[in-house]
Amino acid sequence: MTTVAQYNFAYLDEQTKRMIRRAILKAVAVPGYQVPFSSREMPMPYGWGTGGVQVTASIIGPSDVLKVIDQGADDTTNAVSIRAFFAKVAQVETTTRTAEATIIQTRHRIPEKPLGKGQILVYQVPIPEPLRYLEPRETETRKMHALEEYGLMHVKLYEDIARHGRIATTFAYPVKVEGRYVMDPSPTPKFDNPKMHMSAALQLFGAGREHRIYAVPPHTEVASLDFEDHPFTIQHFPEPCALCGAREVYLDEVILDDHGGHMFVCSDTDHCEDRRGAGHVGPLGVAQEAAE
Amino acid sequence: MYVAVKGGEAAIANAHALLADRRRGDRSVPGLRLDQIVQQMGLAVDRTMGEGSLYDTELAALALVQARGDLIEAIFLVRAFRTTLPRFGYSNPVRTEAMLIERRISATFKDLPGGQMLGPTFDYTHRLLDAGILDDAVPAPVTRPAEDAAAPRVTDLLGRQGLIEPDGETDPDRPVGDLTREPLDFPLDRDLRLQALARGDEGFLLALAYSTQRGYGRNHPFVGEIRIGEVEVEFDVPELGFAVNLGRIRVTECQMVNQFKGSAKVPPQFTRGYGLVFGQAERKAMAMSLVDRALRARELGEDIVAPAQDEEFVISHSDNVQATGFVEHLKLPHYVDFQADLDLIRRMRAEHDAAALKEAAE
């Protein structure tokens, strides 16, 4: 019987990490450009964050503190699973607190708390190509990027306005990075797009199945595509978080019963806990001491 | 008061425990041994090795048991193991003309040097369920004396008369393409394309191959030859200066011969589609060779009109581990994005209703 060797620190072998780091360096040097890399088969399925996991595995060191979120929450099953993976193969410290993390791997959200210098946000990306649903062929979309030919995207946004009176893209809303490449921010709600702009943190994007890595270096311009007469706007929720009372954060709708009862709660669970810890109480919340 | 669902960690641990329990099933039934799988579920093992791209019958059997018989899951397990293995280099091309043949048939010639050999095939069985195989009555072992007669490949026989295109020439110094080490960059060279097809999902390739027969990129195929048997794997050791035999593997090779009327680029002749798969995997090798031929449309100057001829479409979607991952990832939570769409739909419906009311009022 073949015996399974001990895995290297953070699972990937050093040659692979070096290859991925090179791709990351190139991505940082050309913000928003999708760098092909030789994605490995990981011990979790494609579509489960293999790109993000490979990026994290390549940049993580023993002194890093890792936070993993999915839908903004630390305790969603896949976030738990990825965090456990790194705790096992890299024995790094993990945290749920945004401020304490040096690396945050995320699926579908950017934390509410602004990220700082030295922090790295690693996005899991399903389809890295912002033009993919307009043009299915990679050979074509690569040409379009090379020629900076983004007319098709503007036509699509225009047609939205003509048909629906507004741009009907609510997540994975395309952005232009540093005035050059149109980039897919991964399927984060457009609510999070402004957080990418001039962020002090390094933002890395990994798409494992599609073999692409791209990046937004710190303090880089990230503009959501729009028109002068139809400027980009983000979602606003009519009510605050039911638990912590936060406004101007992204909320999840939670169904309470089968009579249409629902409430809105923070999607960013760490942010919500932080606020409740500081004494904020929402309309359905209970003061922290009383709850314990 | 609603308490946000916590405890993903405990849920995962419980799910794993339940999975382990269900996998084992009734404890009063003896557990499967790997040698039973290797010996009696050999074709499942072969498919796992082929699409898992790792020739190791025991590991494939282990993967099958661990995956509860789910082939794609087993293939995934093998792939995830394979990716961690160090690469020492690339073997020399296997010489299938020197194969120790167990099965060899040609549909293009009634008889040919080396003869036709049916081998262990389902082909002429009547598909009647046979509970008799469950009896302990063991059939006597069947062996066949080794043939001394050479069995040259049919394509080599035809090639001597210039009726069929020769094997492609490659520069021996050209590095071997490896799609597990380099990102794919379309259009592909044929070596990479064949590699992708050899790992590709049998069902997907079968359906595409079938579509070419039904007129979507038809190319008039004949089975020149199918051969199944063992070939030697040789590896050039630079320090030694000669090739070392690493052992033998069982493979299935299919050479499809296709009518071709010629184009501006190429004179009329028979062209070829090629299939080579680990183990005994005839359906896969045949499907692969049909799709390979269809994908050569660009090279041969044919019009690309059908899905099976579209390289980017075929190769981007042939990997079942990738496909199952992305399809199945839809069950992961997407409520943040759903919320965003919900918000949009509510707004648009409110506007729609308001407009309808206004219209009714006027």
The enclosing domain of A132 has a CATH number of 3.40.50.11310
**Residue A199 confidence (pLDDT):** 98
A51 is catalytic: no
Catalytic residue among A49, A245, A272, A282: A272
A49 is catalytic: no
What would you report as the CA-atom Rg of chain A, rounded to the nearest whole angstrom?
A: 20
Q: How many residues does chain B have?
A: 362
pLDDT in tens, B88-108: 889 999 999 999 999 999 998
Give the mutation candidate from B49, B192, B336, B345 for the A interface (greatest A CB count, under 10 A): B336
Four-point Cα dihedral B306, B312, B313, B317, nearest 10: 150
Q: What is the mean pLDDT of residues A105-133?
A: 97
pLDDT in tens, B113-141: 888 999 999 999 999 998 888 887 777 87
Residues of chain A with Cβ-Cβ distance to B59 below 8 Å are 2
Greater confidence, B182 or A213?
A213
Give start and end residues of each alpha helix (H) in chain A. 14-29, 50-59, 77-89, 138-146, 151-164, 193-196, 269-277, 288-291
Q: Closest Cα partner for A252 from A261, B241, A260, A262?
A: A262
Are residues B322 and A1, on separate chains, in Cβ contact within 8 Å? no
pLDDT band at A4 (very low <50, low <70, confident <90, very high): very low
Are residues A256 and B6, on separate chains, in Cβ contact within 8 Å? no
User: Does the residue A51 lie in any domain?
Assistant: yes
Q: Closest Cα partner for A72 from A184, A212, A220, A195?
A: A195
A179 is catalytic: no
Greater confidence, B87 or A245?
A245
Q: Let me know whether A214 and A246 are in one domain.
A: no
**Residue B136 confidence (pLDDT):** 72
Quick check: A287 pLDDT over 90?
Answer: no
- Provide the 3-class DSSP secondary structure of residue B259: coil
Mean pLDDT value across chain B: 90
Q: Which of A222, A247, A266 is the last residue of a domain?
A: A222
Are residues B324 and A45, on separate chains, in Cβ contact within 8 Å? yes
Closest approach of chain B CAs to the CA of A200, in angstroms?
24
Q: Let me know whether A169 and A245 are in one domain.
A: no
Catalytic residue among A51, A72, A208, A244: A244
Of A75, A139, A168, the CB nearest to B344: A168
Q: Look up residue B330 and give its two tokens.
A: 């839809």
pLDDT in tens, B159-186: 777 788 877 777 878 888 899 989 999 9
- Provide the 3-class DSSP secondary structure of residue A205: strand
**Residue A31 confidence (pLDDT):** 98
Q: Let me know whether A215 and A241 are in one domain.
A: no
A279 is catalytic: no
Residues of chain A with Cβ-Cβ distance to B182 below 8 Å are 38
User: Does the residue A5 lie in any domain?
Assistant: no
Q: Let me know whether A44 and A108 are in one domain.
A: yes
Mean pLDDT value across chain A: 93
Catalytic residue among A208, A245, A266, A282: A266
User: Does the residue A132 lie in any domain?
Assistant: yes
Give the mutation candidate from B62, B339, B344, B346 for the A interface (greatest A CB count, under 10 A): B339
Closest approach of chain B CAs to the CA of A36, in angstroms?
6
Quick check: A60 pLDDT over 90?
Answer: yes
User: Does the residue A228 lie in any domain?
Assistant: no
**Percentage of chain A modeled with pLDDT above 90:** 88
Residues of chain B with Cβ-Cβ distance to A146 below 8 Å are none
The residue range of the domain holding A253 is 236-284
**Residue B170 confidence (pLDDT):** 76
Helices (H) and strands (E) in chain A, counts: 8, 12
**Residue B146 confidence (pLDDT):** 67
Q: Let me know whether A95 and A172 are in one domain.
A: yes
Are residues A71 and B58, on separate chains, in Cβ contact within 8 Å? no
Are residues B312 and A235, on separate chains, in Cβ contact within 8 Å? no
Residues of chain A with Cβ-Cβ distance to B58 below 8 Å are 1-2
Alpha-carbon separation of residue B147 from A232, B110, B114, B153 (angstroms): 76, 19, 8, 15
**Lowest mean pLDDT segment, chosen from A46-60, A159-173, B197-211, B276-290:** A159-173
Asked if residues A222 and A180 have their Cβ atoms less than 8 Å apart, the reply is: no
Q: Let me know whether A218 and A249 are in one domain.
A: no
Give the mutation candidate from A37, A88, A170 for the B interface (greatest B CB count, under 10 A): A170
Q: Let me know whether A243 and A203 are in one domain.
A: no
Closest approach of chain A CAs to the CA of B172, in angstroms?
24
Closest approach of chain B CAs to the CA of A236, in angstroms?
9
Q: What is the mean pLDDT of residues A104-114?
A: 97
Are residues A188 and B336, on separate chains, in Cβ contact within 8 Å? yes
Q: Which of A222, A256, A274 is the last residue of a domain?
A: A222
- CA angle A77/A80/A83 to nearest 5° reads 150
Residues of chain A with Cβ-Cβ distance to B8 below 8 Å are 75-77, 79-80
User: Does the residue A149 lie in any domain?
Assistant: yes
Nearest chain B residue to A7 by CA distance is B84
Of B9, B328, B336, the CB nearest to A189: B336
Are residues B335 and A41, on separate chains, in Cβ contact within 8 Å? no
Q: What is the mean pLDDT of residues A86-98?
A: 94
Of B7, B312, B321, the CB nearest to A46: B321
Q: What is the mean pLDDT of residues A19-37?
A: 98
Residues of chain A with Cβ-Cβ distance to B333 below 8 Å are 70-71, 76-78
User: Does the residue A69 lie in any domain?
Assistant: yes
pTM for the predicted model, two decimal places: 0.90
User: Does the residue A290 lie in any domain?
Assistant: no
Quick check: A144 pLDDT over 80?
Answer: yes
User: Does the residue A71 lie in any domain?
Assistant: yes
Q: How far, in Å, CA of A264 to CA of A250, rounded?
A: 9
Which residue reads 């933002």 in tokens? Answer: A203
Domain boundaries, chain B: 9-82, 96-124+145-324, 333-361
A272 is catalytic: yes
Residue A160 burial by Cβ neighbours in a 10 Å radius (0-12, 13-18, 19+): middle
Q: How far, in Å, CA of A255 to CA of B163, rounded?
A: 71
Are residues B81 and A138, on separate chains, in Cβ contact within 8 Å? no
* Count of C-beta atoms within a 10 Å radius of residue A127: 16
Number of domains within chain A: 2
Residues of chain A with Cβ-Cβ distance to B9 below 8 Å are 75, 80, 84
Residues of chain B with Cβ-Cβ distance to A188 below 8 Å are 336
Give the mutation candidate from A46, A125, A129, A142 for the B interface (greatest B CB count, under 10 A): A46
Q: How far, in Å, CA of B273 to CA of B295, rounded?
A: 9
Closest approach of chain A CAs to the CA of B142, in angstroms?
28
Q: Which residues of chain B have pLDDT under 70?
A: 1-7, 146-148
